[in-house]
Each structure stands twice: as C-alpha cells, then as structure tokens.
Amino acid sequence: GPDRIGPDPLAVLAALFAHPLFTRLRAIGINDAYLYEYMGGDEWDNEWTSRADEVCELIASSGKLAGMRSFALRDRFSQRGMHELLGSNLLASVERLAFDMGSVDRSQARDLIAAMPNLRAIQVGNQAIALRDIQDILPSTLVEIGGGILHYDDVTIFEAKVGPHIERMTANIPDSYATFSRLRSLDVRHAAISGPSQGDAAYQRATAFAASPLPALRELHPFADLTTDELLMIVEAFGAQLACLDLTGTHQEATPELRARVAGHIRTGPYRVSETFLEATTNTREPGLGCGLVTLRTS
C-alpha cells in the first residue's frame, strides 16, 4: 500500500486545538491540509488528497472556531465541508474571512454571509464563493474585499451596493470607480486594462480610470499591462494624493518623471505577496501595501 509522506493534517490540527494556549488565539489560517502518499514508483509517483472537508468537520465537532475574529481556509473544500461549517454556528464572531479554493452553492454562500454579522473583510479566492451570489447581501460593515469576477449587469450591482463602503480592494471588479469614494488602497496588479474596451474601440479603459473620482485613494498597485505613458497619465491624476505607488513585480521603474508626480513612496523590485490578510486588528486606514507611514507633501 502507499506510504504516507509527512503527518496527517487532521492529527496536527487536533493537537493544536487541544493545546492549552489555543484559547488565546483570535485568528487562524489553515493551508496545505493535504494527505500526501508515496505510491512506490519513482520520486514523482505521489498522490495527494485534500482533507479540507474533514477539517471543516473537525472544526464543527470541536467548537474551536468560537470567538475567532479571523478565519482562512486555503484548501479545496466542497459543499459537504461547508455544510458542516455552517451547521456549527461558530462564525458569528468572524470579522475577516479568506478562501482560496473550494465549491459552495448559492444557498450556502448566502447562508455563510448571514452567519457573520460583523464581517469587515472577505477574500473569495478563485471563485470559492461566487461574488455574484453574495454581492447584494454583503453588509455595510464590509470595508475590504479581495478576488472575485463579475460580468455585465452584476458589475453595476457591485458598484451600487458595495462600492460606497469599500476602503481596500485587491481586484479589478468595477467598470467605473465613481461610487468608491472611501477607497484608500487599490491593488490591481493581476488585472489588465491597457487598450480599448472589448467591443468599444472608443472607450479607453486606462483613460477612464485616470478620470475616476477617487478622493480617498492613498495606495495604488497599478494594472499589470500599463504602458509607461498610461502609468504617467494615472500618476498625473492621483500622484499628489498617494502615500504609496507600488510597482513591485512590474517592468516599470521609479523614473524622475514618476518621482516628481508622487507625493509619497514608490516601491520597486521583484514581486511580493500581498500583505497578511488575517490580522484581526487591521485598520484599513493604516498602510496596506507595506510602505510604512508616509507623510504626504502638501505643497
């Protein structure tokens, strides 16, 4: 039979839950909850099995999510696991929720949001939760959102329902940022907008973004495919109010032309993972792109 490679994640979590200091935790992120097995061929002959559903069952049976303010499950769960998690009634204290992979139906997605009345931040991951299923019931307490894909009429709903109270966003969801008057930090490094809108050659998306009314914007990680001229145009529009322009992972450089237009700090260098999402005390008015406190020039 196969040989196990490494520990069973359920045993590791059970030991963690039983630790006397676990009650002091207010945030937990679970990642790589897989059972790895060697099948006996060469070094590539391995199998892995997600234990995410069993993790949800363990959480439900142990009650150990009670009192948690932040919860992340980065592994591939199914509707079975979500059924157990929802049935546990342990989500009421959660303020920050993050998923990467998984599958829930519309009913479960909506029940999940309803179970967290104090929700302030959510990452929906790679469509683990379909944003279109929950956008109309996201609470007004929500100030941070990451991930998500919307199309056509759904985008208009998002702009109207969610835009007015979002302060941090790591996704390029809206067509227009007109309603995002509180948006302070925008990370759209994985989105492309250079060139005309599909089906409308007269609508230049980079130009439209530069014309957006974003009075609260202080941090920007710009779009992935901007030309130098398009970046200069956007910085001309927002640079005087930016505490941080983050160019890490892009081909752009902090040229004298850019530095002359940006009031705060310009980050450059290799790609960096976005800042930790699970810090329960995170204040969305504090720096989110890792630049530290920056005093803006006022003249």
Q: What is the model's pLDDT at position 290?
A: 67
Taking alpha carbons only, the member of 184, 163, 182 closest to residue 294 is: 184
Q: Which of these ranges, 34-43, 106-115, 273-282, has the smallest mean pLDDT?
A: 273-282
Reported as a single tens digit per residue, the pLDDT across 179-216 is: 999 999 999 988 877 666 555 666 678 888 999 999 99
Residue 184, exposed/middle/buried by CB under 10 A (0-12, 13-18, 19+)? buried
DSSP state letter for 83: H
Q: Report how far residue 32's alpha carbon sits from residue 75's, in angstroms, rounded to the nearest whole number.
A: 6
DSSP, residue by residue, 274-289: PPPS--TT--TTS-SS
CA of residue 2 relative to chain centroid, distance: 37
Dihedral of CA 269/253/239/259: which sign? positive
d(CA 86, CA 108): 8
Would you give the end-to-end CA distance of the chain in angstroms? 72
Q: What is the pLDDT of residues 228-284, one digit of tens each?
A: 999 999 999 999 999 999 999 888 889 999 999 999 999 998 887 766 666 666 677
- Percent of the chain predicted with pLDDT > 70: 85
**Single pTM value for the model:** 0.86
Q: What is the dihedral of CA 206, 210, 211, 216, to 10 degrees?
A: 140
Quote the distance between the C-alpha of residue 162 and its chain's center: 15
Nearest to 79 by CA among 129, 142, 31, 126: 129
The per-residue pLDDT for 299 is 43
Going by pLDDT thresholds of 50, 70 and 90, the confidence category of residue 28 is very high
Six-digit token string for 93: 């204290």
151-178 burial, b for 16+ CB within 10 Å, e for fewer?
Answer: eeebbeebbeebbebbbbbbbbbbbebe
Classify the phi-psi angles of 6: left when phi > 0, otherwise alpha if psi is within -120 to 50, otherwise beta. Answer: left
Angle, CA 78 vertex, CA 74 and CA 82 arms, to 5°: 85
- Give the pLDDT of residue 298: 45
Q: Quote the mean pLDDT of the chain.
A: 87
Taking the C-alpha atoms of 111, 93, 141 and 163 in order, what is their torsion angle to the nearest 10 degrees? -50
228 in helix, strand or coil? helix
The whole-number pLDDT of residue 96 equals 94
CA atoms within 13 A on the CB side of 9: 22
